[in-house]
Structure 1
């Protein structure tokens, strides 16, 4: 008998819940139908020429983060769904020193302790700066590549259980530090060595 009463009360509660949901949906539909204006309101964005919208979007992206010319153009075509021509025109209108953008982007990567070669690769291959812009950035950032190698060595060896030889190999082959930078890092890194 107790189970039967629990079942009845449970069913009654479920029915009340469903009725409340149906009533709520009815009220929402009623209000939406009666508070709607009879004419669709024009979207302000649609009245602005496509090229102006593309330029505004490009300018907005360029102000948020140091991006390359090609990266902004790609964003416009992919995410903004603008044509190649419109995207290129919008990017060309931007009054930006792309070399300085590359410098700012390079500085933002200092926390990752890239080698000179890895940083150039990041700027050119991932961030789509031209090789000239990347070279300019490398020249202007004035990173101490030996100290970057030390920080990378300490970061890579943080878990321990690594020999000097293995870390030297990682720094040169994977992280693309020069042999001299890697040897300096091995000498100066604060690491508990395996050997």
Structure 2
């Protein structure tokens, strides 16, 4: 093979290698493009909120609700009631539970003052020590705070109450001095109040 022929063969081989390398590079680029996942465009619009419109929570006021308020006001003009006692009275009158509760919740009243009026009424009708008056107010369904407020605010003469209790006991039964004293202590009077009560009748 002469020199010219060998030169031509070398050039031909060089072109074949270059073509092969270019072909491989193109295949790599296509593979890289195919393997790259498509990016999902992100919307800048805020997601719509479903069910955010609140339903109306306003209570539907019926004739029964208003009647419960009216009767509650009437009861409070005629007598004193605890909150629970008034609710129970409205139930007794035939109101539904929600109507009775509406009546109690929507009447203008000071429950502390109601307890105080009840305490004054009880002291007008009988004799009480501080503790027995408190317990009686709890029995009438005033709260502990309301009951204590009434006992503290009624301005009672507890020594006088002890003397009245002693006289009441002596009016229907015979007591020794110590027996009467013990009875007054049992009723919740203090030792000083009980001694005053005994002295007032012995």
Give the TM-score band, short-chain normalised: 0.5 to 0.7
Deviation at 1:128? Answer: 0.8
Equivalent in the alignment of 1:82: 95
How far apart in 2 are the matches of 1:160 and 1:51?
52
How far apart in 1 are the matches of 2:173 and 2:73?
46
How far apart in 2 are the matches of 1:71 and 1:141?
21
Equivalent in the alignment of 1:17: none
Equivalent in the alignment of 1:179: 191
1:120 to 2:134 alignment: yes
How far apart in 1 are the matches of 2:65 and 2:138?
27
Q: Aligned match of 2:71 in 36, 52, 57?
A: 57
Q: TM-score, normalised by structure 2?
A: 0.66
Query: What is the number of equivalent residue pairs in this alignment?
Result: 140
How far apart in 1 are the matches of 2:168 and 2:195?
16
Deviation at 1:162? Answer: 1.6
Q: Aligned match of 1:144 in 154, 157, 167?
A: 157
Structure 2 residues not aligned, in runs of 5+: 1-61
1:142 counterpart SS class: coil
Deviation at 1:92? Answer: 0.8
Q: Aligned match of 2:201 in 167, 190, 193?
A: 190
Cα RMSD (Å): 1.4
Whichever of the two has the greater Rg, that structure is 2
Deviation at 1:164? Answer: 1.0
Equivalent in the alignment of 1:11: none
Deviation at 1:178? Answer: 1.9
CA contact (8 A) 1:54 1:80 kept: no
CA contact (8 A) 1:98 1:133 kept: yes
After TM superposition, the runs of 4+ consecutive aligned structure 1 residues lying more than 6 A away are: none
Equivalent in the alignment of 1:156: 169
1:135 to 2:148 alignment: yes
How far apart in 2 are the matches of 1:76 and 1:52?
12
How far apart in 1 are the matches of 2:201 and 2:192?
18
Deviation at 1:160? Answer: 5.0
2:138 counterpart SS class: helix
Equivalent in the alignment of 1:97: 110
